[in-house]
Amino acid sequence: MRYYKGFLRVLTLALLVVPALSAQEKAKPTADVRFSADMLDKNIDPCNDFYAYACGKWNTQNPIPADRSAWGRFNELAERGQYIVRDILEKASTDRPGRSVNEQKIGDYYASCMDEAAVEKAGTKPLEHDFQSIAAIHSKPELPKEIVRLHGEGADVLFGFDSGSDFKNASQIIAQVDQGGLGMPDRDYYFKDDEKSVELRKKYVAHVAKMFVLLGDDPGKAEAESKVVMEIETALAKGALDQTSRRDPQKIYHKLSSQELAALSPEFNFTQYFDGVGAPPFNSLNVVEPDFVKNMQAVIDAHSLDDWKTYLRWHAVHASAPYLPAAFVNENFDFFGKTLQGTKELRPRWKRCVGYANNDLGEVIGQVYVRQTFGAEGKERTLAMVAALEKALGEDIQSVSWMDADTKAQSMVKLHAITNRIGYPDKWRDYSALQIERGDALGNSQRANQNDLQYRLKKIGTPLDKRDWPYPPMTVNATYDPTQNNITFPAGILQTPFYDNRADNALNFGGIGAVIGHELTHGFDDEGSQFDAEGNLRDWWTASDKKQFEERTSCIKDQYANFVAVDDLKLNGKLTLGENTADNGGVRVAYMALLSTFAGKEPAPIDGLTAEQRFFLGFANVWCQNQTNAMSRMLVTLDPHSPGKYRVNGTVSNMPEFREAYHCAATAPMVNQNACRVW
Ligand SMILES: [Zn+2]
């Protein structure tokens, strides 16, 4: 399954939220998701639990739909987008003369995906060429050729290969070899020894075996094969870095020559792989984790060719499962949806197909989506807010007591160099080489993946083009990219409840304003602060300011490490540090920006709520969410973001401005006695 497609990069973009693992949506679009004072739980004292006060009622009224593992206000918004996209796809899918080239692509892609009867009839035939090719491998030196083929189809086998910014020369795109080849979401899943993790591994092995049975293997053979898969994946995982380490740019940047890479893994012919996969020639690359490659060679040596064929066959069927007959789809959902995420039901087919189409043809669909939903006014007003937030962050930087003049000046240079991408790309991606055939659901997806890979690999050795977007415009998210020093706000997020043309400034600054502040602050969190104004990994801090900075971030790390995610499982303070820092800084600068709009005159209260109170409600409101326990457990390992409850309560409890707005007693739970502040 190509989870996180488009987000799979060495340095994870500083997102606002983790993208839904599967874009499943509930049955009906929500008519209106605007904030109103009726949504507040008046039985709760905001000074005791602000999240419960702002979200408790919403949470009760919006249980998790059966086909989801989490449901929040982000999802409501994404769901409205799904209906718009379905409409676009259905219109394009009518095979009629005069369809444009783009209509043919998105329409036939969607029609093929929706044609369940054809998918059932084809059975596993579309996979036969994969299996024949794997069966025909005669020796280990032939592995690179087969990995080339499977990577092209979108299977995550052995390792990852992509293009990306050179951390120390950010204007250049270079090749990068990364860890990969696992079926479960992360290396930690293979090693954690608590009861639930041990149980999960057993279920994973059982799932792998069932998939082999569905392919026609007898149960005894399938069981043995599933053990081989688990052994190989566990051995590969040993060389992989965990998610917390991967947030440290120093740990994921190792620029090596091609010869040095070859020396790490002498018997796996990388040159043959690079040529085969279609990469332009290069002499050096980022080997994200050299120990992973070294270990990979040892794992290749330690297992027989037959074992490797089993491993490859598993990943071929695993990657294709969503496009195969119902038996495969259901078995795949049973483990990855039900067991892993606690989702009760598979989402309806059309919602899955909309999700796959968004993944595979995002910028084709995006062109129509933007025409239908995003006016010039939205772009202008957002730009004005970004300018207000940048100004507030500048004032905030100038006012902090712990930085000296030198570091402040460097920070201002970086702040002023941040560029903005609002709404949609100025230049759309070209999909003309991609062939979409009606009636070939799996083939379409595989060709789309190949097209995507070639698009990314072609960039190797070329200058960075900041006009390229990391995801399509209907995405409900926002990002900061430290290697480009830019922020991205797609059309998808520039709507209620984040941004509402009809709402007062207080709500909008608490909503989209805090999001803009959050993204800007990422340039100055524990990770972003290691990159300079041009996006280069370079230390521009004085030693004493760095020490002060680290003392302050360490306060946030300890604060959030005490929050309970689920059962007795606490948040990982280090993994979530950057996001928590961005939440805290973002809300503060958005608040400053709001005050500056008052021009000395306090606005009249609305519904009995002051502008300051409404600001904090606008912020809390976007984080209302429900989540299954299984999902909460999974996200503690994977997600650098804290759950909504702590994004809200953790942040406001650090702010004297909040205490004042709600007249909280000094000892109230929402007043952190050891208040943390970085920005
Ligand atoms: Zn973020």
Average of pLDDT values for 82-100? 95
Q: What is the pLDDT of residues 180-225, one digit of tens each?
A: 999 999 999 999 999 999 999 999 999 999 999 999 999 999 999 9
Measured in residues, the chain has a length of: 679
Model confidence at 343, in pLDDT bands (50, 70, 90)?
very high
519 in catalytic set: yes
- What tokens does 15 get? 């997102």
How far is the centre of ligand 1, averaged over its atoms, from the C-alpha of 478 (Å)? 8
The residues, any chain, with a CB within 8 Å of residue 530's CB and separated by 6 or more, are: 249, 250, 482, 537, 538, 539
How far is the centre of ligand 1, averaged over its atoms, from the C-alpha of 590 (Å)? 15
How far is the centre of ligand 1, averaged over its atoms, from the C-alpha of 633 (Å)? 20
Model confidence at 375, in pLDDT bands (50, 70, 90)?
confident
Q: What is the pLDDT of residues 292-313, one digit of tens each?
A: 999 999 999 999 999 999 999 9
Residue 435 has pLDDT above 50, yes or no: yes
How far is the centre of ligand 1, averaged over its atoms, from the C-alpha of 657 (Å)? 22
Average of pLDDT values for 411-417? 98
3-class DSSP assignment, residue 474 = coil
pTM assigned to the model:
0.93
Model confidence at 374, in pLDDT bands (50, 70, 90)?
confident
Burial class (CB in 10 A: 0-12, 13-18, 19+), 528: buried
- What tokens does 649 get? 């309560």
Residue 378 has pLDDT above 90, yes or no: no
Q: What is the pLDDT of residues 552-571, one digit of tens each?
A: 999 999 999 999 999 999 99
Tell me which residue has tokens 């409501």: 76
**What confidence score (pLDDT) does residue 26 get?**
35
How far is the centre of ligand 1, averaged over its atoms, from the C-alpha of 409 (Å)? 24
Q: Label each residue of 283-349 as H, E or C.
A: CEEEECCHHHHHHHHHHHHHCCHHHHHHHHHHHHHHHHHHHCCHHHHHHHHHHHHHHHHCCCCCCCH
**What confidence score (pLDDT) does residue 29 get?**
42
Residue 160 has pLDDT above 70, yes or no: yes
Residue 380 has pLDDT above 80, yes or no: yes
- For the residues of 153-184, what is the DSSP string, one character each? HT---SEEEEEEEETTEEEEEEEEEEE---SS
Residue 140 has pLDDT above 90, yes or no: yes
As a whole-number percent, the residues of the chain with pLDDT over 90 amount to 91
State how far the Cα of 483 lies from the Cα of 461, in Å rounded to an integer: 16
How far is the centre of ligand 1, averaged over its atoms, from the C-alpha of 220 (Å)? 47
**What confidence score (pLDDT) does residue 13 get?**
62
State how far the Cα of 80 lies from the Cα of 29, in Å rounded to an integer: 6
How far is the centre of ligand 1, averaged over its atoms, from the C-alpha of 638 (Å)? 14
Average of pLDDT values for 123-127? 96
Model confidence at 12, in pLDDT bands (50, 70, 90)?
low
Residue 20 has pLDDT above 70, yes or no: no
How far is the centre of ligand 1, averaged over its atoms, from the C-alpha of 641 (Å)? 7
How far is the centre of ligand 1, averaged over its atoms, from the C-alpha of 11 (Å)? 13
Catalytic annotation, pick one of 519, 525, 545, 612: 519
How far is the centre of ligand 1, averaged over its atoms, from the C-alpha of 506 (Å)? 22
How far is the centre of ligand 1, averaged over its atoms, from the C-alpha of 505 (Å)? 23
Mean pLDDT of the chain: 94
As a whole-number percent, the residues of the chain with pLDDT over 70 amount to 95
State how far the Cα of 49 lies from the Cα of 463, in Å rounded to an integer: 49
3-class DSSP assignment, residue 118 = helix
All residues with CB under 5 Å from ion ligand 1: 14, 579, 582
545 in catalytic set: no
Q: What is the pLDDT of residues 248-290, one digit of tens each?
A: 999 999 999 999 999 999 999 999 999 999 999 999 999 999 9
Neighbours of 223 (CB within 10 A): 17
- What tokens does 418 get? 């941040």
Task: Name the residue among 152, 151, 134, 132 with its Cα closest to residue 305.
Answer: 134
Strand 169-179, strand 70-72: pairing = unpaired
Burial class (CB in 10 A: 0-12, 13-18, 19+), 276: middle
* Integer CA distances (angstroms), 415 to 143, 418, 522, 536, 676, in order: 47, 6, 11, 14, 22
Residue 638 has pLDDT above 70, yes or no: yes
State how far the Cα of 609 lies from the Cα of 37, in Å rounded to an integer: 8
- What tokens does 658 get? 């909040």
State how far the Cα of 545 lies from the Cα of 543, in Å rounded to an integer: 6
Catalytic annotation, pick one of 225, 583, 612, 639: 583
Strand partners, 433: none
How far is the centre of ligand 1, averaged over its atoms, from the C-alpha of 582 (Å)? 6
Residue 452 has pLDDT above 90, yes or no: yes
